[in-house]
Structure 1
């Protein structure tokens, strides 16, 4: 147990002040404790020592110590005296917690969104609690229901594929914000990117490199069952082909379920000279099976993805970068605004993307060929 530092000796109560002496003394020692001058575990002077040091009565000293004790800053024992302790953390109101539901736990895109959410929560005095749907509508519903039952102020959701839950949230006026993908059947606040425009840009980049047989791949049983993000990226791909009078064959659209064997992608390698993947995960699956089958990327087939995950740089994947951290930041601020009573029609916040050109699209290969 350490004695109090010398800083306490310099304080003198102001007897001309309208503020009571015990309050002045209490505030002085509160400042020393909260400022770290009196660390946790240090012992304050005895009542007699405080009386002599500050020229005040025992009643004044006891009132000051009582104030520190009630604030949770000190504990008082008969044997040891008055000791500084960690102040109790204020209880967090459930309404100042926002729930966040993602489809999976260790996805780089989701992790970056989390960082943005946490930044917004710190700025606004809120807390975030995370849950995961594991690509299951039933689990997603259970997670959101759990958060509502706990009294959370609202939820952010990167939704799976069932709008029923969100129609119910709209009907019950429970605050929520979609991240990344949305349902037109359940209009609400949304933060994401213009997938159509971004996919148009990356497809147009391939066309500009001279590719005329361009396929599209995604990992869903069908486009009808795919998330809105995949449908929009497919629309952007088709729009770019149409704008540049590039042909399309139905066999150039390859869709396989998430857990299906990605070797099904190999059928495409003999038909096209370039591939647009719905996301980086799918692009990297294609790259893996193509490489193992002896198909060279980009020499024989060019490849682009979407998201710019950390692995994209490692495998030199040309892709579209999303501002994932900014998505989380803006979505959390929008949700907190709703929790705090800011009304108005649903907002759709669309953030910019940018094309990241690396080796898999074949641009460097084409440049070296032109230089010969």
Structure 2
């Protein structure tokens, strides 16, 4: 297979001149450029894209770290990031961790090896890793880690407070809580806001009404089965709409009325929440993805100062409360 040295020899130019042609530099005469391209065609030379990108110091690829691609929140987040990638002619590399700490740690190698120009953190269970990540490449988080890296995030604490206030106003005296990953930044913020609200509220919460690591419709169905073995709380705050939908589906199959027997709230306002009329929190997740990608690309090109932004939630009151 021909290499740059072969092309330079047959074209009668230096290797640096061939390199300038490959990298699209303007300072090569039309005649030399034509000769070099003719030689490349004759030798059936195919440029090594990785080598060219490495010499330029960029790959036009950004990475995204998410626990689950199929989760509605991360699906929308990737949609927003992907739109910016298409507009900027960038490639998107998705790194799915399934909440595995080892996979989170391994993702740093993409930055170290310069296989990506930067990394967007959809969610991470080990925020301490961000300290190292930021030393090897641009990083933007979609959780509140603004003390470590630039962050774009929702006010999850305010959202939980809004949901609790709502069910309390609707007459609830006891309340349950269902989270996704309790070790993630979002999980910790939501639990802290829940506990803080109960300190000054008439609402009561018992450990029997707490569940975590629930992510799917099936997880919601399983949780409903567990709750049916004990006295139900008046309301339950659920960390995402898919789980809330599973709860509602199983409760209705077992003759439990929603919201008369138990009020249920979701989170995210994905299509299933609108279809089932679930009271939930609306987050502009696609917009979050766009903003994160734009921030990352700006940082990678040193075109702007790193910044963090807080996005506000909206309460969507429907038929499950």
Q: CA 1:323–1:257 in 2, change beyond 3 Å: closer, same or farther?
A: closer
**SS in structure 2 of the partner of residue 306 of structure 1:** coil
In the other structure, the counterpart of 1:52 is none
In the other structure, the counterpart of 2:315 is 355
- Correspondence for 1:189 among 125, 150, 170: 150
- Correspondence for 1:109 among 63, 66, 73: 73
- Correspondence for 2:194 among 237, 244, 266: 237
User: Does structure 2 conserve the Cα–Cα contact (< 8 Å) formed by 1:159 and 1:182?
Assistant: no
Q: CA 1:148–1:288 in 2, change beyond 3 Å: closer, same or farther?
A: farther
Q: Distance in 2 between matches of 1:238 and 1:256?
A: 15
Q: CA 1:240–1:71 in 2, change beyond 3 Å: closer, same or farther?
A: farther
Q: Distance in 2 between matches of 1:253 and 1:227?
A: 20
**SS in structure 1 of the partner of residue 267 of structure 2:** coil
Q: How far apart are residue 252 of structure 1 and its match?
A: 5.8
User: Does structure 1 conserve the Cα–Cα contact (< 8 Å) formed by 2:155 and 2:310?
Assistant: yes
For the pair 1:166 / 2:130, whether they are aligned, the reply is yes
Q: Distance in 1 between matches of 2:34 and 2:252?
A: 69
User: Does structure 1 conserve the Cα–Cα contact (< 8 Å) formed by 2:141 and 2:151?
Assistant: yes
Q: How far apart are residue 279 of structure 1 and its match?
A: 2.0
For the pair 1:145 / 2:85, whether they are aligned, the reply is no
Q: How far apart are residue 129 of structure 1 and its match?
A: 2.0
Q: CA 1:318–1:101 in 2, change beyond 3 Å: closer, same or farther?
A: same
In the other structure, the counterpart of 1:265 is 227
Q: Distance in 2 between matches of 1:357 and 1:69?
A: 69
- Correspondence for 2:165 among 184, 199, 204: 204
User: Does structure 2 conserve the Cα–Cα contact (< 8 Å) formed by 1:154 and 1:175?
Assistant: yes
**SS in structure 2 of the partner of residue 131 of structure 1:** strand
Q: Distance in 2 between matches of 1:226 and 1:315?
A: 29
Q: Distance in 2 between matches of 1:339 and 1:104?
A: 26
- Correspondence for 2:175 among 214, 228, 247: 214
In the other structure, the counterpart of 2:8 is none
RMSD of equivalent CA atoms: 3.3
Q: How far apart are residue 350 of structure 1 and its match?
A: 1.3
Q: Distance in 2 between matches of 1:71 and 1:100?
A: 37
User: Does structure 2 conserve the Cα–Cα contact (< 8 Å) formed by 1:275 and 1:303?
Assistant: yes
Q: CA 1:141–1:251 in 2, change beyond 3 Å: closer, same or farther?
A: closer
Q: How far apart are residue 212 of structure 1 and its match?
A: 2.3
Q: CA 1:205–1:218 in 2, change beyond 3 Å: closer, same or farther?
A: same
Q: CA 1:215–1:150 in 2, change beyond 3 Å: closer, same or farther?
A: same
Q: CA 1:318–1:114 in 2, change beyond 3 Å: closer, same or farther?
A: same
Q: Distance in 2 between matches of 1:252 and 1:113?
A: 33
The alignment's TM-score, normalised by the length of structure 2, stands at 0.73
Q: CA 1:105–1:219 in 2, change beyond 3 Å: closer, same or farther?
A: closer
**SS in structure 2 of the partner of residue 100 of structure 1:** strand
**SS in structure 2 of the partner of residue 297 of structure 1:** coil
For the pair 1:131 / 2:95, whether they are aligned, the reply is yes
Q: Distance in 1 between matches of 2:34 and 2:286?
A: 42
- Correspondence for 1:316 among 245, 261, 277: 277
Q: How far apart are residue 336 of structure 1 and its match?
A: 1.1
Q: Highest CA radius of gyration, 1 or 2?
A: 1
Q: Distance in 2 between matches of 1:108 and 1:278?
A: 12
User: Does structure 1 conserve the Cα–Cα contact (< 8 Å) formed by 2:237 and 2:264?
Assistant: yes
Map 1:283-302 to 2 at 5 A. Answer: 283-302=244-263
- Is there any run of 5+ residues in structure 1 with no aligned partner, and where? 1-63, 77-87, 362-372
The alignment's TM-score, normalised by the length of structure 1, stands at 0.64
